[in-house]
């Protein structure tokens, strides 16, 4: 698979503070890559290095095979970026900003402009001073979606949008993927990443601690299981791979390591089961597993 | 009725608490500025003869337009201080009142703070009322300080009644503009709009009074700033303008309160017109953007520099009678054989205007870092826009600003000067004298570019350097300083035309230094991290 974004052992220091420590990941052509991590973990710093706004202290980062610092002009012709905190000029209107960005990127697209303004319900005649955070974000989103870029970088793009707009945005990201575009989506909203992303990278304290497809990552963590029987399940707690058993009458809720699901089913089949439900771990589970200490990490 | 004002006093206390430093600085600065004047006039014009000579100068219509009418037949230190200072100080008191008022009304409303307050059991008019009380309070404190400060000075012509009237005039003018602002904060739906309208009206009142004072007397009576000059402080001591001010303020405030009680939160009575849906082609480049963001400031500075030139130019005719035998002036103007006092004065004035014209140029350049601090560059740098293009655009705006400012100042000086001088200086000479400052201004811009590239957080040092240059070059002769002090500022190397000979080497030397600074600035800027 062709790598659109390739970051190799990138370290960024601000004075003595190490914001990124050998960050290493890649975004493949045509995929939506989710970049998750809490505030201050290094998401925005990584993105700013990719944009050539910050210079990596060590390591190498490329987009379309070109160096992000030295060849930034060429790269920027083919990317679109939406920051998490959109700061615009208070005395320009949204429409003016959209035109300015289009022109700076090269060309002044008008074809989809009205359609996108309508779609995101944005009034282009208002001065940016009067826009709320969500509306400023829409200005940047409309501008990004107007561009015919090959790579879209979104840094928490929906943090100011209402749920309806969030859905509109998610649809647009799916459309981009169908058109074969690549997307780097940094987000706090794990359900959004889960819905949209093919692969995920989790960053903590400036280091990528997990990276892969959701399937692969799920394999590393526990499923939620609910069992209802007519008799009590003695010995369930002793089955290998079973954790956090919660008993309510004859209803059992517990978690099972993905690899040991087989043993649980074999054990349960000895009993008269009325109900068996198994849910894969959510991204939130994956995420929390990395952030709630490491004492229970599954082998 | 009293429900509407509920808890105004608590809000008043909160407002004072929030602004205790800001308001103190305003009061202190304005009072200080007023109180040092009589003493320094005492030193400058110790004899009645000197003051009468000054009075003759002040008969000039241009001076009347600027400072208003005064009792020129009875030109004591007190009369002179009041005549020359009270109007300009009152204008600043007006601006202070406008800024403080908008800050606590429309700005708070825009930021959503008023909404928070209004959700509490607080009267609908409480915010407006508390702010009115606060700004009136600030004006009263200023008035009292000025009155006391003038009374205690050991200068005979500063009588007690005049001192009280001086304070009351400043405070009264401030209260007038408090009321005007209270009205505009109801009419306009943004803090910018309210400030703009209020300051616009203040300027209108100033011009109305100027026209009235030099021609049709009646017009001045329709301007609160006309009332300011009609008090004739320290001579006839008229109190009626003060009562007129208070009556005017009361009526305007009443109207503002009525409107405030009726209108919705965050609404205004002026319709807010929609902006442009599409950008004009002029905006669509880094330079276009840089220029557009500074357009209003650019135009204001251009007009300001022209007016500055005109006002200096208008006194060129009376200089000989005015400066003869004034020790202080003789120290600044080192007599040069073969040049008239007017020509020497032009050299000095060009120095002052050259440095003032550097201010808009530096503001333009420093704005590049201001934009970065506000995280507005990140989105631009995500496009194929290079650092050099961006810095180059701001450099270009700064250079244009430098040219326009200094040339307009020169043109103003020439235009006004040639109408009042018996033997006017030629246009070419005056423009030449202005352009001589361009290289030094380029060095200042270059320095700013270098700092933005190398260490942007200390870019405000350019201002310290400009102030240093001003003190050294302007006052250098007065302090008898070593040449070393003026050699380290670019302005120390400018040929002060028309008195100095034009020297080629420093002219191009400064341009060379500026180019080196700019190239270094561009290089460093392209290499460093951008904060946002």
pLDDT at A46: 96
Long-range contacts (CB closer than 8 Å, 24 or more residues apart) made by B341-344: B342/B316, B342/B317, B342/B417, B342/B421, B342/B423, B342/B425, B343/B425, B343/B498, B343/B499, B344/B499
B284–A103 CB contact, under 8 Å: yes
Chain A residue numbers touching B530 (CB-CB < 8 A): 48, 53-54
- Crossing angle for the helix pair B77-104 and B20-44, to the nearest 10 degrees: 160
A interface with B, Cβ–Cβ below 8 Å: 48, 51-55, 72-74, 76-77, 79-81, 83, 85-89, 91-93, 95-101, 103-106, 108, 123-127, 129-130, 140, 153
pLDDT at B60: 74
Which of A172, A3, A10, A175 shows the shortest CA–CA distance to A82?
Answer: A172
Rounded CA-CA distance B49/B370 in Å is 52
| pLDDT score of A297 more than 90 | no
- A222-280 has which CATH code? 3.30.70.980
Contacts of residue B34, Cβ cutoff 8 Å, sequence gap at least 6: B85, B89, B146, B149, B150, B166, B170
pLDDT at B320: 65
Starting at the edge strand that comes first in sequence, how are the strands of the sheet with A251-257 ordered? A242-248, A251-257, A222-229, A273-279
Contacts of residue A299, Cβ cutoff 8 Å, sequence gap at least 6: none
The domain made up of A3-211 is a member of CATH 3.40.50.300: yes
Rounded CA-CA distance B184/B196 in Å is 9
Count Cβ neighbours within 10 Å for each residue of B497-522 and write b for 16 or more, e otherwise.
Answer: bbbeeeeeebbeebbebbeebbeebb
| pLDDT score of A299 more than 60 | no
Mean pLDDT of successive 10-residue stretches along chain B, which has 532 residues: 87 95 94 91 87 82 81 91 93 96 92 88 93 98 97 91 96 98 92 90 91 84 94 94 97 96 83 84 94 92 91 76 60 64 84 93 95 94 95 97 96 89 87 95 97 95 92 73 85 86 92 98 96 82
pLDDT at B192: 84
CB B434 within 8 A of CB B409: yes
- Cα dihedral B141, B142, B147, B153, rounded to 10, equals 120
B284–A79 CB contact, under 8 Å: no
Residue A27 to chain B, least CA–CA distance (Å) = 18
- The rounded Cα A233 to chain-centroid distance in angstroms is 40
Chain B residue numbers touching A129 (CB-CB < 8 A): 190, 192
Question: What is the average pLDDT score of chain A?
Answer: 88
| pLDDT score of A95 more than 90 | yes
Task: Give whole-number Cα distances, B66 to B86, B209, B308, B367, in Å.
Answer: 11, 9, 11, 32
Report yes or no for ipTM above 0.90.
no
Percent of chain A with pLDDT over 90: 53
Hey, is A14 helix, strand or coil?
Answer: strand
B278–A96 CB contact, under 8 Å: yes
| DSSP codes of every residue in B169-195 | HHHHHHHHHHHHHHHHHHHSSSHHHHH
| pLDDT score of A48 more than 90 | yes
Which of B344, B362, B324, B341 shows the shortest CA–CA distance to B470?
Answer: B362
pLDDT at A295: 45
pLDDT at A296: 44
Which residues in chain A are classed under CATH 3.30.70.980? 222-280
CB B38 within 8 A of CB B77: yes
Chain A residue numbers touching B188 (CB-CB < 8 A): none
Which residues in chain A are classed under CATH 3.40.50.300? 3-211
Helices and strands, counts by H and E, chain A = 10, 14
Chain A residue numbers touching B274 (CB-CB < 8 A): 123, 125-126
B378–A76 CB contact, under 8 Å: no
């Amino acid at each position: 698979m062709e790598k659109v974004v390739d970051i190799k052992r990138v370290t960024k220091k601000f004075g003595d503070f190490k914001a990124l420590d050998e960050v290493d990941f890649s975004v493949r052509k045509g995929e939506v890559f989710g970049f998750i991590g809490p505030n201050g973990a290094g998401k925005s710093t990584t993105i700013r290095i990719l944009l050539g706004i910050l210079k990596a202290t060590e390591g190498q980062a490329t987009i379309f095979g070109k160096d992000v610092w030295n060849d930034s002009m060429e790269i920027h012709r083919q990317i679109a970026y939406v920051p998490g905190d959109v700061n615009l000029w208070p005395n320009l209107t949204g429409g003016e900003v959209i035109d300015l960005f289009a022109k700076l990127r090269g060309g002044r697209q008008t074809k989809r402009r009205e359609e996108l303004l309508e779609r995101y319900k944005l009034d282009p005649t208002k001065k940016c001073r009067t826009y709320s955070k969500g509306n400023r974000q829409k200005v940047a989103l409309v501008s990004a979606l107007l561009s015919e870029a090959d790579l879209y970088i979104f840094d928490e793009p929906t943090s100011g949008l209402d749920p309806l707009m969030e859905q509109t945005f998610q649809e647009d990201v799916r459309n981009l993927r169908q058109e074969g575009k690549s997307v780097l989506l940094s987000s706090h909203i794990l359900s959004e990443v889960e819905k949209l992303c093919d692969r995920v990278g989790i960053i903590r304290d400036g280091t990528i601690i997990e990276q892969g497809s959701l399937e692969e990552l799920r394999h590393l963590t526990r499923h939620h299981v609910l069992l209802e029987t007519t008799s009590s399940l003695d010995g369930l707690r002793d089955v290998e791979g079973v954790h956090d058993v919660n008993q309510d009458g004859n209803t059992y809720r517990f978690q099972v390591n993905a690899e040991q699901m087989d043993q649980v089913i074999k054990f349960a089949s000895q009993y008269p089961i009325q109900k068996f439900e198994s849910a894969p771990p959510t991204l939130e589970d994956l995420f929390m597993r990395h952030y709630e200490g490491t004492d229970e990490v599954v082998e | 009725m009293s429900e509407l004002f509920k808890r105004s006093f608590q809000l008043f206390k909160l407002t004072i608490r929030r602004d205790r430093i800001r308001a103190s600085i305003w009061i202190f600065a304005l009072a200080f500025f007023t109180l040092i004047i009589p003493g320094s006039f005492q030193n400058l014009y110790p004899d009645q003869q000197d003051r009468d000579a000054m009075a003759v100068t002040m008969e000039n219509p241009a001076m009347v337009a600027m400072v208003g009418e005064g009792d020129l037949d009875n030109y004591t230190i007190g009369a002179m201080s009041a005549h020359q200072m009270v109007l300009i100080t009152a204008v600043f008191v007006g601006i202070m009142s406008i800024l403080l008022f908008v800050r606590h009304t429309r700005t708070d409303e825009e930021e959503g703070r008023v909404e928070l307050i209004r959700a509490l059991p607080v009267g609908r008019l409480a915010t407006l009322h508390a702010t009115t009380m606060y700004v009136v309070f600030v004006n009263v404190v200023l008035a009292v300080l000025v009155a006391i400060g003038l009374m205690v000075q050991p200068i005979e012509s500063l009588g007690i009644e005049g001192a009280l009237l001086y304070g009351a005039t400043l405070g009264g003018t401030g209260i007038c503009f408090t009321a005007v602002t209270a009205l505009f904060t109801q009419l306009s739906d943004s803090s910018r709009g309210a400030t703009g309208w209020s300051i616009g009206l203040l300027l209108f009142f100033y011009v109305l009074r100027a026209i009235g004072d030099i021609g049709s007397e009646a017009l001045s009576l329709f301007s609160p700033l006309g009332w300011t000059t009609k008090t004739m402080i320290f001579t006839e001591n008229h109190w009626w303008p003060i009562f007129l001010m208070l009556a005017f303020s009361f009526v305007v405030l009443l109207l503002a309160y009525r409107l405030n009680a009726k209108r919705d939160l965050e609404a205004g009575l002026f319709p807010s017109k929609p902006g442009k849906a599409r950008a004009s082609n002029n905006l669509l480049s880094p330079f276009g953007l840089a220029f557009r963001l500074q357009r209003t400031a650019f135009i204001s500075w251009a007009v300001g520099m022209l007016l500055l030139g005109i006002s200096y130019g208008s006194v060129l005719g009376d200089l000989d009678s005015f400066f003869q035998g004034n020790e202080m002036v003789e120290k600044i103007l080192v007599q040069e054989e073969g040049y008239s006092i007017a020509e020497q004065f032009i050299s000095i004035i060009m120095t002052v205007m050259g440095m003032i014209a550097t201010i808009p140029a530096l503001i333009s350049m420093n704005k590049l870092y201001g934009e970065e601090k506000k995280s507005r560059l990140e989105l631009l740098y995500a496009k194929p826009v290079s650092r050099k293009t961006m810095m180059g655009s701001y450099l270009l705006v700064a250079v244009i600003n430098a040219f326009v400012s200094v040339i307009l100042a020169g043109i103003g000086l020439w235009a006004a000067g040639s109408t009042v001088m018996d033997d006017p200086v030629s246009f070419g000479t005056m423009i030449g004298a202005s352009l001589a400052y361009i290289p030094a201004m380029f060095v200042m811009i270059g320095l700013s570019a270098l700092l933005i590239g190398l260490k942007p957080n200390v870019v405000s040092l350019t201002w310290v350097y400009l102030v240093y240059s001003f003190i050294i070059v302007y006052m250098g002769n007065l302090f008898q300083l070593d040449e070393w002090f003026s050699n380290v500022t670019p302005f120390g190397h400018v040929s002060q035309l028309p008195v100095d000979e034009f020297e080629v080497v420093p002219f191009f030397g400064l341009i060379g230094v500026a180019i080196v600074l700019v190239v270094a600035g561009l290089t460093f800027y392209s290499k460093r991290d951008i904060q946002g």
